[in-house]
Structure formats: C-alpha cells, structure tokens
Amino acid sequence: MLAVLLASEMCAQPAAGPDSTQSSHGFWSRYNLSKVATVALVGGIFVYGWGVWWKNDYRSFRFWYDTEGVFNAHLAMDKVGHMYTGYFIFHATNDILRWGGHDEDVAFWWATGIASFHAFMVEVGDGFSEYGFDYKDMLSNWAGVGLSVLQQKVPFFSNVEMKWSLYYPLTRKTFIINDLYDYHIYWLSFRVNSLLPQSLEPLWPDWLQVAIGYSSADLVTRREYILGFDYNLEMLPLEGADINLVKKLFNMIHLPAPGVKFSPGRPPEFRLFLLN
C-alpha cells in the first residue's frame, strides 16, 4: 500500500492552476515529499516494531486467546495505546498529505487505508511471534481510526482530540515504548471554547482545553484517572504551511499542565505540571 502511494501520480501531469505544491516543482515539491514522508513515517514504525517485538522471535502463526478480559489484562492500557496508534497514524498521514497539497478526499482515504492496514499488518507480525494475533488489539487500532474519521466527517467530534504523554526515565538504558505502561497517560482533550454557548465563548481562552486522562501505576496493578488542563498548540500565533503542519503533529502530544490524579483507595493528588 505504501509503495502504491509513493508511485501514484509521480508521473502525472499537474492540475491546471498555480498550485506550487504539485509536480511543477519536480520531485522535490511538497506534493511528492509528502508521499516520501508518509512512507518514511509508517515504514519507520514498522521497522521499530520489528526490532522491539519480532526480531529473533519467529514461530508458527498463532492466535492469542486472552482469558483475563479486555479491561483486566494490563488494565486495558495496551488497548488504549493501540487506539492512540491508529489515531496518530491517521492524523499524521492526513496532515502530511494535506501539507503536500493533496486533495482533501484523497488524503482522507489514504489516511484511513494506511492506518487500518497498519493495524492488520501489526497483528499479522504478532501472529508469527510470542504475542499471537489478537483481534482485540486490531479492533482497538481501528477504534482510533474510527474516531479520526468522525472528526473529519462530523464537525462536533472535531472538538474531542486524543493525546498522549510519556515520561521515560533517562536511567533506563533502552527505549521500548511499551516497556512499562505506568509511564504512559492517554488523554481525551476537549475544545471547551467551541463547546460553550456563544454567549460564554468569549470568556474561555481558545488555547486552553480540559482533558481526561487514563494511566496505570505500581507496575500496572492500579488504575489512575486524571482531570487536567491541556493546550491547543494549533492556536499558537505562528502561520505558514510548514509551521501549521508542525503544530498539528505536536498537538497530538499532551504537554505538562495542571492536573489532579485520582486512584482507588488513595487521596486525590494535584500537580502543577503533571507529566506522569
């Protein structure tokens, strides 16, 4: 699928009009570079996954049968992580292709297809390793793609964004993204300014959002729920095609902000700059 994207329209004539992003500027136009960037991004994710999960672990294909239940195994942190992965790949692909000047519908369908296909292929890779093919992981990825599709097609859902924050101690010698889920927080961030009645909208800053987070603690044995603030980086007063792409990509990351952590059997814990 990525090869098809890279090859598609490389030799096509540019559309009529002054669109400088297309092939009138040759191979190094943003139009073509956006394809290369998309292939590099998704290909890089596959290579990383191979090195972390599949390298030196080839075995006969098998399915994974989970007896703990979706919400008990790893406290569902892995499933939420899969959902964010599908969400991230969709948005990164869509934003990069739109930056390159691709038609909105073309970018949308490529993003949908690539993110969905990635979810399937990762599970195929898992099927030939100790992990096994887990359809629930694949469905979790597709849930992230589904949220992304709703954001694109139903205006209301554009007010809800999925974000991720990661605290990874420098004392750990190797970076394995799912080495310990306690380092992760997954967020749903709400654009309050857009959800308020028109009479109240001027009272809330455009750049300030409210977020609900989910994480784990004590070696993935205790659930944590977080209520805090978030920043809409797309509201930064900087403009231009390149900087807008950077703002969109970094806006999928939750930066440290005031928040309160809640966990069963423990008092609420306030942090001025909550990272983990």
The H helix count followed by the E strand count for the chain is 7, 6
Mean pLDDT over residues 164-190, rounded? Answer: 83
Q: Which residue has the higher pLDDT, 178 or 163?
A: 163
Using the predicted structure, report yes or no on whether residue 34 has a pLDDT greater than 60.
Answer: yes
Using the predicted structure, report yes or no on whether residue 217 has a pLDDT greater than 60.
Answer: yes
Using the predicted structure, report yes or no on whether residue 160 has a pLDDT greater than 50.
Answer: yes
Using the predicted structure, report yes or no on whether residue 269 has a pLDDT greater than 80.
Answer: yes
In this prediction, residue 8 carries a pLDDT of 57
Is residue 44 packed enough to be buried (19+ CB in 10 Å), middle (13-18) or exposed (0-12)?
Answer: exposed
In this prediction, residue 13 carries a pLDDT of 43
Model confidence at 24, pLDDT cuts 50, 70, 90, reads: low
pTM of the model: 0.90
Q: Which residues of 242-263 are buried (b: 16+ CB within 10 A; e: fewer)?
A: eebbebbbebbebeebebebeb
Using the predicted structure, report yes or no on whether residue 195 has a pLDDT greater than 70.
Answer: yes
Domain ranges of the chain: 28-153, 161-276
Model confidence at 2, pLDDT cuts 50, 70, 90, reads: low
Q: 72-114 pLDDT, tens per residue? A: 778 999 999 999 999 999 999 999 999 999 999 999 999 999 9
Angle between the 135-153 and 104-127 helix axes, to the nearest 10 degrees? Answer: 170
Mean pLDDT over residues 169-182, rounded? Answer: 74
Pairing between strand 208-217 and 184-190? antiparallel
Give the lowest-confidence range in 59-68, 76-85, 125-134, 241-250.
59-68
In this prediction, residue 73 carries a pLDDT of 77
Query: Residue 72: CB partners within 8 Å, gap ≥ 6?
Result: none
Angle between the 77-99 and 104-127 helix axes, to the nearest 10 degrees? Answer: 140
Is residue 235 packed enough to be buried (19+ CB in 10 Å), middle (13-18) or exposed (0-12)?
Answer: middle
The span from the CA of 157 to the CA of 141, in Å, is: 18
Q: In this structure, are residues 77 and 216 in contact, taking their beta carbons and an 8 Å threshold?
A: yes
Using the predicted structure, report yes or no on whether residue 11 has a pLDDT greater than 70.
Answer: no
